[in-house]
Structure 1
Amino acid sequence: MDDERLVREVERSADAFVELYRRYEQPVLGYFRRRVDDAELAADLTGEVFARALEGLRARRDIDRGFSAWLFGIAHNVLVDSYRRGRVDDEARRRLGMEPVALVDDALARIDALGDETTLRGALDALPPEQREALWARIVDERDYEEIAGALVCSEQVVRKRVSRGLATLRARLGGECQ
């Protein structure tokens, strides 16, 4: 089931959000791990992102850029907020009654590996060039789809599909579950 359909299903089924979480937990953890020095901090930030996302979906916020872009927009805002406040904001998690996750050493090691430039670089290098270029422009450079499409001389839909396929491949290659 694609992301857009899962987003529509969240209202009726908690399993839909669980599936979105499974798809994006590793990429969001990796996003934070490359930006902060601590695996536990990356996990805390990730928890807040998914709590805010769940609140947004329950409030039926319009997701006009696609779920992935919307989610990483939340991640960016959570990171900026945490820098500004000097701590991780956990208000959304508390409102939802979510307990902080206690991480075991294996989970921390997997999160640390997400920040390992060589691991990520190897996985990115293994992607087809068109997926790698679109994914890098969207996630790392934080460019919008229209701008990427112009640079790659293709449609926004093609860019979205390349990013989606690239993320799916990275999830599979960098996999592992944090518990």
Structure 2
Amino acid sequence: MADLTHLSDEELLRLTPRQAAAFDQFYLRHERLVLGYLRKRTASSDVAIDLAAETFVAALASVKRYRASEGPAVAWLLGIARHKLLRSIQRGEVEARARRKLGAPRLELLDERLERVDQLGSRTAEELLAQLRPREAEAVRARVIEELSYPELAERMRCSALVARKHVSRGLLTLRTIVEHDDV
């Protein structure tokens, strides 16, 4: 594999459609910048990590539309990160309104809970999902792993968005109980 470290960001992005290693180099060069940008603007590291991943996926998906004449690649990348952050905030506000209407509490993954998940060792997500009822496992898998929206999930499950949300909520609560029980 050729050494790409000497190439500019613009050259890396231009090469990406033909050479995947070019985007790998672009990612390695800017991962910390994007994570730092998002971490300063979010309430938690795990949200920043998720948004950074979404940012780089979106950048890779739209790399053919990048034009060096429109500005530096890093500005383009941070623009994508900003867009992902704003969309996340909008989704959060919509979900918060829905939770208030339903009287449902907000569930948060705290750092200590994330550490417990890390300590589960060899237990995979599929092994944990296998402990759920089939509909709840399907809902959690689609919402959390596949990242479907609630309307998309409802369509897949042939139910209302409210029922889909209940399946996800029940599944996550059950998983939380399993993880907390394993920690005892």
For Structure 1 versus Structure 2, the TM-score category normalised by the shorter chain is 0.3 to 0.5
The structure, 1 or 2, with the larger RCO (C-alpha pairs under 8 Å, 6+ apart) is 1
Normalised by the length of structure 1, the TM-score is 0.46
Which structure has the greater CA radius of gyration? 2
